[in-house]
Structure 1
Amino acid sequence: MKRIFLFIATNLAVMVVMSVVLSLLGVNRFLTANGLNLGMLMVFSLVVGFTGAIFSLLISKPMAKWSTGAQVIQAPSNSTELWLVNTVKMLSERAGIGMPEVAIYQGAPNAFATGAFKDSALVAVSTGLLENMTREEVEAVLGHEVAHVANGDMITMTLIQGVVNTFVVFLARVVGYAVDQAFFKKNDDDRPGIGYMLTVLVCEILFGFAASIIVCWFSRQREFRADAGSAKLLGNGQPMINALSRLGGLVPGELPKSMAASGISDKAGIAELFSTHPPMEQRIAALRNAGK
């Protein structure tokens, strides 16, 4: 969950900042100089939408290290670190990817994988995970994270986020132009006014939340695939089922304070729309059904 929310939050922040900067530079006036130029607006939307997504992907690994305090194992200093490195190496070889960096961070049970490229990713586990799970269960979790890397999930999320961002930017400006023309224009001047800028800002925030629902739905599908990927790497799904059952009975690691306002939760209710992970029982059921 941490890596996906960090990706989404960074991406949306970059997108909003770029929109504000380009507005101050007069790009919006160019788009509406002679009425709304939809062709140029689409090009503009693509640039803004994908720039945020690609930038957040490229900085995902250093940002993940910084936000969690993860320490990369450069040279194993004990048997646990040696086992972790060897296990990730074995799993990455089976998955056909380059050896990821392996890191440990302080915190309640959790783990993540991130990085822009399959052959230079990062796999990290928390101290809580190591302390509360058996090695077989930890191995299954590592298989899940390696499967995320092998499946190219971060790149997939980048493409999906870029597409939804494009529509957020595009639709926000169409609505902004319409509102500005209908309620704020007092003359024939087609240049964007305060109504346009305010409406665009509000729409980008509202449409951004709606877009997050779509992105989170895709993220939940990635989790099912990563669970199945772990089962394939380990030869059967039981270790992953055991790991999920164990995790379901533990309090998951909290997000860093810089990410605490995510609104993403696995609890029942509307928050499920913003959850990056399916409920544990659904993931376990999917693995059991796959083994029949």
Structure 2
Amino acid sequence: MKRIALFLMTNLAIVLVLSLVLRLLGVERILDESGSGLDLNALLIFSAVIGFGGSFISLAMSKWIAKRSTNAQVITQPGNATEQWLLSTVADQAKRAGIGMPEVAIFPSPDVNAFATGASKNSSMVAVSSGLLAKMTKQEAEAVLAHEISHVANGDMVTLALIQGVVNTFVIFLSRVIGHVVDRVVFKTEQGHGPAFWITSIVAQLVLGILASTIVMWFSRQREYRADAGGAALAGRQNMIAALERLKAGQPNHLPDELVAFGINNKARDTFSKLFMTHPPLTERIARLKEAR
């Protein structure tokens, strides 16, 4: 739960900042009563501005955050044979997948991991850990790169931002409706909004946000299956299976929490925690590839 909460931290922080700014500017006063009830149309527009605004600002910042949180170094000119191989492999896979050439980076970590991020298919970054380069064969590493290229080609970053925006919108909308009802029915506030509205709205937003995150996590798990299939198509099914087997045999990874959803390796632990995991268990991913025809 802690890792998932931190993964959503950037998005939620931006949502809170936007909400605060609009409140200070007096925009949120349009949510007050205009007659006998809450203006639901205005509330929905307000919620969408905050919800999608936070999600797309997070998306726009994704590469910047990734580079600084992992200390990833983008390869501009290859300094050795490994870097040259990385660039040429990503270039070949990107061409075959029909996307623009991503930035290619290496981040210092003993863990075997990789991630892809960026605001669009033609403005993305693929990064691998130094541990992956040291511990995987070239065939396995190629499969991991293909998995990440498939994420980019599938538009997963943008789709995830859209889903998060929808979830944000309805969490903000419903939390304020609940706050309004409690304020009017329980505390009998007759005009404007009293303290009960804000307290109840914040509590409801936290609870609904946790529940709604299961929807985002479900989509994230489905995109991993699709990226595995795409990686198998680009690099060979056996190579993709071998790469996942290598990840399964390795130690737990320590990718920065805000990038957990984008890493290839993220191990689930039990049935309940799987509801909040960004990745399916590696055993299930391997089984899915073996069953594919």
Question: What TM-score results when the alignment is normalised by the length of structure 2?
Answer: 0.91
**Equivalent residue for 2:80?**
78
| Mean Cα deviation higher: 10-19 or 34-43 | 10-19
Same amino acid, percent of matched pairs: 54
- Equivalent residue for 2:185? 182
What is aligned with 1:22? 22
Does the aligned pair in 2 maintain the 1:109–1:252 contact within 8 Å? no
Distance 1:95 1:7 in 2: 28
Give the Cα separation in 2 of the matches to 1:137 and 1:265: 19
Residues 1:150 and 2:153 are matched in the alignment? yes
- Residue from 51, 54, 67 that aligns with 1:52: 54
Change (3 A) 1:131 1:268: same
Matched, 1:162 2:165: yes
Partner of 2:255: 255
The structural deviation recorded for 1:45 is: 1.1
Secondary structure at the counterpart of residue 8 of structure 2 = helix
User: Which letter does structure 2 place at the counterpart of 1:111?
Assistant: A
Q: TM-score, normalised by structure 1?
A: 0.91
Gap regions ≥5 residues in structure 1: none
**Which range is displaced more, 264-273 or 62-71?**
264-273
- Counterpart selection for 1:97 from 99, 116, 133: 99
- Equivalent AA in structure 2 for residue 169 of structure 1: I
Q: Could you tell me which amino acid in structure 2 is paired with residue 101 of structure 1?
A: E
| Preserved CA contact (<8 Å) 2:267 2:282 | no
1:227 and 2:228 correspond: yes
Using the TM superposition, give the Cα deviation of residue 163 of structure 1 relative to its aligned residue in structure 2, in angstroms: 0.8
Whichever residue aligns with residue 256 of structure 1, its letter is P
The match for 1:238 is: 238
Range with greater deviation from structure 2 (265-274 or 112-121): 265-274
Please report the RMSD computed on the Cα atoms of aligned residues, expressed in angstroms: 2.0
Structure 1 runs (4+) deviating above 4 angstroms are 4-7, 257-260
2:108 maps to 1:106: yes
Which residue does the alignment assign to 1:138? 141
Q: CA deviation at 1:7?
A: 6.3
Q: What is the CA–CA distance in structure 2 between the aligned matches of 1:277 and 1:18, rounded to whole Å?
A: 30
Q: CA deviation at 1:249?
A: 0.7
d(CA) in 1 for partners of 2:160, 2:89: 26
Give the secondary-structure state (helix, strand or coil) at the position aligned to 1:171: helix
Give the whole-Å Cα distance in 1 for the aligned partners of 2:257 and 2:151.
25
For the structure 1 residues 104 and 282, does the alpha-carbon distance in structure 2 shift closer, same or farther, using more than 3 Å as the test?
same
Please say which of residues 52-61 and 23-32 is displaced more in the overlay. 23-32
Q: Which residue of 2 aligns with 1:9?
A: 9
- Alpha-carbon distance in structure 2 between the residues aligned to 1:149 and 1:171: 33
Taking structure 1 as reference, are residues 290 and 132 closer, same or farther at Cα in structure 2, changes over 3 Å only?
same
Measure, in 2, the Cα distance between the counterparts of 1:223 and 1:268. Answer: 18
What is the aligned residue count? Answer: 283
Amino acid at match of 1:139: E
Moved more, 22-31 or 274-283: 22-31
Unpaired runs of at least 5, structure 2: 261-265
